[in-house]
Amino acid sequence: MASKSQKKANLLDHHSIKHILDESVSEVVKGRGYSEDVRLSNVRLLIGSVIIVIALFAQFYKKKFPENRDFLLACIALYPFLIIYTKEKNAILFTYPLAGSFTSTGLVVSSKLPRFSDIYTLTVESADPKSISANEPVNLTKSVTEWFTKDGVLVEGLFWKDVETLIAQYTKEPKKSK
């Protein structure tokens, strides 16, 4: 009898593979006591709403095209600035600092799985890289074939162990020179 939490991906679809791996990374990080910081997602939703309102104003403005040219240009000029602001790169999870820890920054977990490649790269870095308590970013780069069976089932134990090792590597105290 199969486990109900078994995660299966279509091995021919790299989006499906990346989605399952990213979801699992999120579970591992949250399982280690980090709570998700959704502020950036909320800001993105707000900016998306503003973009929709601008588009509606541009569409239903009371004047027709030749007369509303300046208004349309202003709407078009605002659009790229709002879109650029929402770019998160490859981040899949933002966290707050651990409760009771001395660090003042959370984590940014990002991943890459290039098209037509089986190499998955997972990066853990500080949410505020300029902070004095920020550690150096750490990476894990492996083939996804190490974590999936031939049927497309994620071997969670192996993957979770690799992710936990990466987080432990990031959170370890840096060696101080004497």
Cβ within 8 Å of residue 57, ≥6 positions away? 71, 75
What's the rounded Cα separation, in Å, for the pair 164 and 122?
Answer: 12
Structure tokens at 42: 């909320």
Per residue in 77-121, pLDDT tens?
777 766 665 556 778 888 888 877 766 778 888 899 898 888 999
**End-to-end CA distance of the chain, in Å?**
57
What's the rounded Cα separation, in Å, for the pair 162 and 172?
Answer: 15
C-alpha angle 48-52-54 in degrees, rounded to nearest 5: 115
Assign 3-state DSSP to the chain and report helix, strand, coil percentages, each to 5.
45, 15, 40
Has residue 56 got a pLDDT over 50?
A: yes
Dihedral sign of CA atoms 168, 117, 146, 36 in order: positive
One DSSP character per residue, 25-64 reads: HHHHHHHTT--B--HHHHHHHHHHHHHHHHHHHHHH-SS-
Question: What are the CA-CA distances from residue 10 to residues 38, 42, 74, 143, 152 (Å)?
Answer: 29, 31, 44, 16, 6
Per the confidence metrics, is the pTM higher than 0.85? no
Per residue in 113-171, pLDDT tens?
898 888 999 988 887 777 777 778 899 999 988 999 888 888 888 999 999 999 888 88
